[in-house]
Amino acid sequence: MTKKTVFAGFGGQGVLMMGYVYAVSAMRDGKEVTYLPSYGAEVRGGTANCTVVVSDEEIFSPVASAPDYAVIMNRPSLNRYEGMIKKDGIIVLNSSLVDRDPSRDDLDVVRVPANDIARKLGSDRTINMIMLGAFVTKTGITTLESIMNGLTEIVKGKKASVMKLNRKGLDMGAEYALKK
Amino acid sequence: MTEKQLMRGSHVIGEAAVRAGCRLYAGYPITPQNELTEYMSGAMARLEDGTFIQAESELAAINMVLGASMAGARAMTSSSSPGISLKQEGISYLAAQELPAVIVNTMRGGPGLGNIAPSQGDYFQATRGGGHGDYRVIVLAPASVQELADLTRKAFEYADKYRTPAMLLGDGMIGQMMEPVVFPEPVDLNKLPPKPWILDGAIGRPSRIILSLLLDTTVEEEHNWKLVRKYESIARDITSAETFMTEDAHLVVIAYGTAARIAKGAIKRVREIGLKVGLLRPVTLWPFPKRVLIEMSRQIKDFLVFEMSTGQMLEDVKLSLEGRSNIHFYGRPGGIVSTPDEIAKEINSLYHRQHLEED
Amino acid sequence: MEKKVFTRPRYLKDAVFHYCPGCGHSIIHRLVAEVLEELEIGEKTIGVPPAGCAVLAYNYLDVDMGEAPHGRGAAVATGIKRVLPDRIVFSYQGDGDIAAIGTAETIHAANRGENITIIFVNNAVYGMTGGQMAPTTLPGQNSTTTPGGRDISRDGAPLDLSQMLAIARGSAYIERTSVDSPKNIRRTKKAITKAFLTQMEGLGFSLVEILSACPTNWKMSPVDANKWIKDSMMNTFPLKVIKDKTNEK
């Protein structure tokens, strides 16, 4: 099993953090992982994306010409990645900001109004956790528990209330993955 | 910190350098390797005996490293392609004065200012010495973040052992990428072999000179041959390459660093459709794994060299094989990162063009 | 009873200088060696010779010496000193080395307040390469690359590096002296002593600029050359303490 995922959006949405938390969690699950962020001038342009590969075996190419999954945080990212996703791939859309559906009909689409949910939770900083909750639950590639463990390792020292909010975000996102 | 952790390539070089005993780092900002410079600023500040200097130029940085090396410290500088061009003056002096040092080149697209995307256009510069004069630099080409850690340690060890500069040649991708890594334990500086040649003040011994000015041509000639003898022993001792699925291969792809990762992905794909293809990945670019290649040419009649350049390592492959096999080339210069699919297509068409399925 | 009144300093090797007759380098080498001996620091000193006529300084000064690429003396000295902060580190550089190709390294070493000492020998010409224009060549002065004399509108004016270095916050002591006369030679020795003391006390960057004759490339007799220093060079490069904050601490 080798699964490549693209996380894409604009700066400030926690896109890179989302991919990083996922990668650390999968590593702690005992998987091989690579995390490749966009960098340099591309970042200055305001877009942010990263590719995370999770596998049971040695990972060869860290780049994804055809990702299995995509987590799309805004419309420009949908425009950019829609055509690249593998046939019958999964796409998790932030439907608060993406006002159209993918034009391909083979994709399994999960729509998560992440900004709206985050507003209800009272913190925009949970947007990425909401999306990650939906992504993990939909793909089953790791568990919410692993993500929480990964998050705890990464943000060590953060207040319990913050962690609680993150957990809440993951759970709310997960619900949308189960809806359909 | 010997537990497995997910770390960025640039940071891994820094941590591995500290653990290898690096005590002076001098660098100048340039993308895509600023994360290494930034990491070293913090890491050196945490050490009681560490020095970090943000130098005014690449020239100053490499010469600070040269001074630190004269004084006996394990020292490192890093940059990306245009900055490495500026460091070549110092690298030539390091080689001439037989001083150990580690230089990291995170290659980007070029020539000129080029771009900041991953590239392999500096192969010639790295493996041919790079600066003026008749010398070589040990060049190590990591292909994974774990290997960055391992080869950084080796770079310091080789540099000290052979008293010569060693270069870690990566690219923007391997520098930015995060992968799991386990670090070796830090070296005990007190247990490293003594350096009976350093300049630390002539206390109780005759004064020493470290120089490269050899006006007497016969002396300079002998110095050049002495360096050659050293390089020959380096070639005997440290030449290294990885082979992947070559046992039954009809075609072997030769690639290093990031290109080798992509090539492996391509080989996995073409193996699924029954093509017998393997990979040879030089880990040391200088010394080049010539013998492995010659050995392989007994079975393999077709090699495909794949580089993120217009064909530089290609020349070493040709020089190694001296007409023994067919050598093909596929290159993507300028910062283009090929996909495994693209390389798989290239392999596939070559495989059939050469009628390798009939072997 | 014989009494020895003049002898070779401890840190000067028993070697015959290769310098031209009337050249200031041999005097300055000797002064450095005397100071190292008097301050009792010779055995913990590391010197960095330049590219230029003084490249062979290691043949004369009997201390650890590590050659720097042209102009990089301050950077190399920085590397050594940072690794060995309890040693004394100096670079010995000419005007082309320090004020043209090595300007950046020198200014930034001063600005960082590197605790090193620089002996800057200014003879207003590229000596070793055969008398080309130096950054310090005087207006109207003939050189092999300014036939008819240095023309300020074409070649730029002489660069006063020491003044530039004085502006840098990290420089502690900068003085310009000369070795054109016995009196000035004594002053130069004092300045070199003070520069090394500045370093020994950890006060920061110290530099002594020394006006020095190059009769060969100036195409003058040694006597005329020293007169030219006094009559011409000193107008552009007046002798003085340019900066001294060693008492501020």
Contacts of B70 in chain C (CB under 8 A): 46, 66, 76, 79-80
Is residue C140 scored above 90 in pLDDT? yes
Question: Which stretch of DSSP H or E encloses residue C77?
Answer: helix C73-83
Under the banding of pLDDT at 50, 70 and 90, the label for residue C99 is very high
**Nearest partner of C123 among C238, C225, C194, C17, judged by Cα:** C225
- What single-letter amino acid sits at C83? V
Q: What residues of chain B lie within 8 A of the CB of C58, using their CB?
A: 209, 211
Q: What is the pLDDT of residues B187-218, one digit of tens each?
A: 999 999 999 999 999 999 999 999 999 999 99
Does the beta-carbon distance from B341 to A27 stay under 8 Å? no
User: Is C108 near chain B, with CB under 8 Å?
Assistant: yes
Q: How far is B82 from chain C (nearest CA, A)?
A: 18
**What pLDDT sits at residue C3?**
84
Task: Say if B337 is an interface residue toward chain A (CB within 8 Å).
Answer: yes
Domain parsing of chain B, residue ranges: 5-238, 241-358
Put simply, the answer to whether C72 touches B23 (Cβ < 8 Å) is no
Rounded-to-integer distance, Cα C154 and Cα C177, Å? 29
Q: Mean pLDDT across the stretch C123-145?
A: 96
Chains C and B touch (3+ CB pairs under 8 A): yes
Indicate the pTM of the whole model: 0.95
Is the CB of residue B213 less than 8 Å away from at least one CB of chain C?
Answer: yes
Q: Is the peptide bond before C49 cis (omega within 30 degrees of 0)?
A: no
Exposed (0-12), middle (13-18) or buried (19+): which is B212, by Cβ within 10 Å? middle
Please determine, for residue A41, whether its predicted confidence score (pLDDT) is greater than 60: no
Please state which of the ranges B263-272, C3-12, C113-122 shows the lowest mean pLDDT.
C3-12
User: What local confidence, expressed as pLDDT, does residue C82 receive?
Assistant: 98
pLDDT of amino acid B238: 98
**pLDDT band of A12, cuts 50, 70, 90:** confident
Contact at CB, B60 and C104, closer than 8 angstroms: yes
Question: 10 Å Cβ neighbour count for C242?
Answer: 18
Residue A40 sits in which domain range?
Answer: 2-179
Read off the pLDDT of each residue in C211-231 and give the average, rounded to a whole number: 97
As a whole number of angstroms, the distance between CA C40 and CA C189 comes to 15
Contact between chains at B66 and C68 (C-beta distance less than 8 A): yes
| pLDDT surpasses 80 at A45 | no
Closest CA to C117 of C163, C157, C173: C173
CATH number, domain containing residue A41: 3.40.920.10
Q: In this complex, is the C-beta atom of B353 within 8 Å of any C-beta atom belonging to chain A?
A: no
Residue C207 contacts residue C110 (beta carbons within 8 Å) = yes
B128, burial (CB in 10 Å: exposed 0-12, middle 13-18, buried 19+): middle
Total structural domains within chain A: 1
pLDDT of residue B95: 98
Q: What does the pLDDT look like over B146-161, one tens digit per residue?
A: 999 999 999 999 999 9
In whole angstroms, give the CA distance from residue C42 to residue C44. Answer: 5
Instruction: Provide the pLDDT for residue A44.
Output: 55
Domains of chain C: 25-244 (3.40.50.970)
- Note whether C63 contacts B202, CB cutoff 8 Å: yes
> Which of C46, C87, C200 to mutate to test binding with chain B, by most B CBs within 10 Å of its CB?
C46
pLDDT, tens digit, for every residue of B43-70? 999 999 999 999 999 999 999 999 999 9
Reported as a pLDDT band with limits 50, 70 and 90, residue A157 is: confident
Question: How far apart (Å, rounded) are the C-alpha atoms in residues A28 and B180?
Answer: 10
pLDDT at B262 over 70: yes
Say whether pLDDT at A47 is over 90.
no
Average pLDDT over residues A39-61: 82
In chain C, residues with a C-beta closer than 8 Å to the C-beta of B59 are 72, 75, 104-105
Q: How far is B228 from chain C, CA to nearest CA, in Å?
A: 22
The gap from C-alpha A119 to its chain's centroid, in whole angstroms, comes to: 19
- Among the partner residues B179, B180, B265, nearest to A61 by beta-carbon distance: B265
Instruction: For domain B241-358, give the CATH number.
Output: 3.40.50.920
Place of tokens 């993308």: B31
Q: What is the CATH number of domain B5-238?
A: 3.40.50.970
The whole-number pLDDT of residue A65 equals 83
Indicate the average pLDDT of chain C: 96
pLDDT for residue C249: 56
Looking at the complex, does the CB of residue A27 fall below 8 Å from at least one CB of chain B?
yes
A65 touches chain B (CB under 8 A): yes
β-bridge pairing B165-171 and B178-181: unpaired
Asked if pLDDT for residue A40 goes beyond 60, the answer is no
Neighbours of B47 (CB within 10 A): 12
Q: How far is B99 from chain C (nearest CA, A)?
A: 11
pLDDT band at A43 (very low <50, low <70, confident <90, very high): low
A161 band by pLDDT with thresholds 50, 70 and 90: confident
Res. A63: pLDDT tops 90: no
Q: In the complex, which subunits touch A with 3 or more CB pairs below 8 angstroms?
A: B
Is 90 exceeded by the pLDDT of residue B271?
yes
**Are C42 and C235 within 8 A, CB to CB?**
no
Residue A141 dihedral angles phi and psi, to the nearest 5°: -75, -25
Q: What angle do CA B162, B165, B171 make, to 5 degrees?
A: 130
State residue B359's pLDDT score.
57
Can you list the alpha helix ranges (DSSP code H) found in chain B? 9-19, 34-46, 58-70, 81-96, 123-127, 145-162, 172-176, 217-238, 257-272, 290-296, 313-321, 340-353
